[in-house]
C-alpha cells in the first residue's frame, strides 16, 4: 500500500499507458488469429542462389518419376516443334506463340507439381493421377488461365504492331526474320522486339511463378495466387530474377538439339518450380496436423 502511495502521478500515467499498449497488442494479435488470411505469408529470407537448391530437388523428383516425366517431356518437345513450325510459316505470330508456350507450360507442369507434392507427402502417384491433378482446382486454374490468356492476346497484338512500325519490307518469311536477328540488319526492329518480348515474358513470370502450384496445393482463388506471386517477386527480386534467368537459359539450351532437350528440361523445371513454391510460400501447419495427400493420389484412392 505504501509503495503505491509513493508512486508519482507521472509514473502512474506511464504505467497506465504501458498497460494500454499491451492490451491493444493482445487484441490485435487475437484479431489476426481469428480472421482468415487473405494473402498467405511468404518467406522472409531467400538466398540469392536458392535456385540451385530448387533445381537439385527437382532433379531428384525427375529421377524418381522418370517414366511418368517422359510423358510430360514429350509434350514439351511437341510444343517446341509447334513453335518452329509457326516461325517458318507465320513469323509475325512468333511472339504470340512464345507467349502461348509460356502460358501452356505451367499448366503442363501441373502433373509434375502433383508428382513432387505426393512424393513430399510419402504418397504414390500414377500417370493418371498426375495428368488429372488439376481437377481438384479446375475452376480457379481456369480463371487464372483466362488472366494469362489476356496477356497472351496483348503480346500477340504487340508483335503485329512491332512488325508494322519497325520492320522494313513487309511481313518477312522465317529465313528473313532469322537473318534480321543474326545480322542486326534492322536494329530498331530487333531492339523493340526483344524489349517488348522481354517485358511480357517477365510479366507472365511474375504473375505465375508460384501461382499454379499454389492453386493446386491450397484452397485459394486465382487473384490471391497471382497477388502472392507478385509479392514474392517484390520481396525477393534478386533470387527470383536469377531463377527466371535460369529457366530461360535452360529452356533455350534444351531447344537447340531439335527440342529434344525439353524432354528432360521441361519436367525438371516443373519439379524445381514446386520446390521454389514450397520455400517461397511456406505452409502454415496447425500443430500435429500434417497436410493431407491429394484425393487424386493412389494412396487416397486405395483408401476409399
Domain parsing of the chain, residue ranges: 52-121+129-158+197-280
| pLDDT > 90: percent of the chain | 29
Question: Is pLDDT above 50 for 38?
Answer: yes
Report the range of poorest mean pLDDT among 65-79, 247-261, 275-289: 275-289
Asked if 71 contacts 127 with a C-beta cutoff of 8 angstroms, the reply is yes
Cα–Cα distances (Å) from 239 to 45, 250, 267, in that order, read 10, 16, 21
pLDDT in tens, 90-145: 665 665 566 566 666 777 788 899 999 999 988 888 888 888 888 878 888 888 88
For cell 502454415, the residue is: 284
Separation CA 43–CA 232 (nearest Å): 8
Distance, in Å, from the CA atom of 70 to the CA atom of 94, rounded to the nearest integer, reads: 27
Cβ atoms < 10 Å from Cβ of 95: 23
Site of grid cell 502450384:
213
Chain-centre distance of CA 269, in angstroms? 11
Residues for the chain: how many in total?
Answer: 304
- pLDDT at site 14: 58
> What cell numbers appear for 299 in the block?
494412396
Asked if residue 86 lies in contact with residue 93, where contact means CB atoms within 8 angstroms, the answer is yes
Residue 132: what are its φ and ψ, rounded to 5°?
Answer: -110, 20
* Angstrom distance (rounded) from CA 106 to CA 151: 15
User: What are the φ/ψ torsions at residue 139 (nearest 5 degrees)?
Assistant: -65, -50
> Cα separation of 48 and 262, whole Å?
26
pLDDT of residue 176: 58
**pLDDT value of position 231:** 95
Q: What is the mean pLDDT of residues 216-231?
A: 91
Model confidence at 281, in pLDDT bands (50, 70, 90)?
very high
Name the pLDDT band for 32 (thresholds 50, 70, 90). Answer: very low
Amino acid at each position: 500500500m505504501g509503495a503505491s502511495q509513493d508512486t508519482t502521478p507521472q509514473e502512474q500515467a506511464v504505467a497506465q499507458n504501458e498497460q494500454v499498449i499491451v492490451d491493444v497488442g493482445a487484441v490485435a494479435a487475437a484479431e489476426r488469429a481469428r480472421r482468415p488470411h487473405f494473402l498467405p505469408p511468404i518467406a522472409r529470407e531467400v538466398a540469392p542462389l536458392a535456385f540451385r537448391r530448387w533445381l537439385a530437388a527437382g532433379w531428384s523428383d525427375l529421377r524418381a518419376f522418370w517414366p511418368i516425366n517422359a510423358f510430360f517431356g514429350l509434350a514439351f518437345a511437341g510444343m517446341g516443334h509447334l513453335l518452329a513450325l509457326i516461325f517458318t510459316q507465320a513469323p509475325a505470330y512468333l511472339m504470340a506463340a512464345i507467349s502461348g508456350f509460356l502460358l501452356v507450360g505451367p499448366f503442363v507442369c501441373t502433373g509434375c507439381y502433383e508428382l513432387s507434392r505426393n512424393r513430399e507427402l510419402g504418397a504414390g502417384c500414377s500417370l493418371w493421377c498426375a495428368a488429372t491433378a488439376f481437377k481438384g482446382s479446375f475452376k480457379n486454374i481456369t480463371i487464372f488461365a483466362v488472366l494469362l490468356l489476356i496477356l497472351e492476346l496483348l503480346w500477340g497484338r504487340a508483335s503485329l504492331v512491332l512488325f508494322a512500325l519497325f520492320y522494313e519490307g513487309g511481313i518477312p518469311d522465317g529465313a528473313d526474320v532469322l537473318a534480321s536477328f543474326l545480322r542486326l540488319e534492322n536494329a530498331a526492329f530487333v531492339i523493340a522486339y526483344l524489349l517488348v518480348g522481354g517485358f511480357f515474358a517477365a510479366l507472365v513470370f511474375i504473375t505465375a511463378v508460384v501461382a499454379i502450384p499454389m492453386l493446386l496445393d491450397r484452397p485459394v482463388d486465382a487473384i490471391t495466387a497471382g497477388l502472392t506471386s507478385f509479392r514474392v517477386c517484390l520481396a525477393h527480386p534478386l533470387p527470383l530474377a536469377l531463377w527466371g534467368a535460369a529457366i530461360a537459359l535452360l529452356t533455350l539450351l534444351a531447344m537447340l538439339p531439335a527440342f529434344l532437350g525439353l524432354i528432360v528440361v521441361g519436367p525438371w523445371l516443373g519439379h524445381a518450380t514446386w520446390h521454389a513454391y514450397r520455400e517461397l510460400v511456406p505452409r502454415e501447419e496447425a500443430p500435429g496436423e500434417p497436410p493431407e495427400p491429394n484425393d487424386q493420389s493412389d494412396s487416397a484412392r486405395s483408401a476409399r
